[in-house]
Amino acid sequence: MTGPVKRSVTIAGHETSISLEPVFWQALKTSAESQSLPLNALVAQIDAQRIELNNPPNLASAIRVWLMERAVARLGD
Dihedral sign of CA atoms 29, 30, 33, 34 in order: negative
pLDDT digits (tens, 9 = 90+) for 14-37: 999 999 999 999 999 999 999 999
Q: Are 64 and 21 in contact (CB under 8 A)?
A: no
- Residue 29 contacts residue 9 (beta carbons within 8 Å): no
User: Domain locations in the chain?
Assistant: 22-76
- How many CA atoms within 13 Å lie on the side-chain side of 66? 23
Per-residue pLDDT, 8: 96
Model confidence band, residue 76 (pLDDT cutoffs 50, 70, 90): confident
Whether the CB-CB separation of 15 and 59 falls below 8 Å is answered with no
Q: What is the pTM of this model?
A: 0.91
Mean pLDDT of the chain: 94
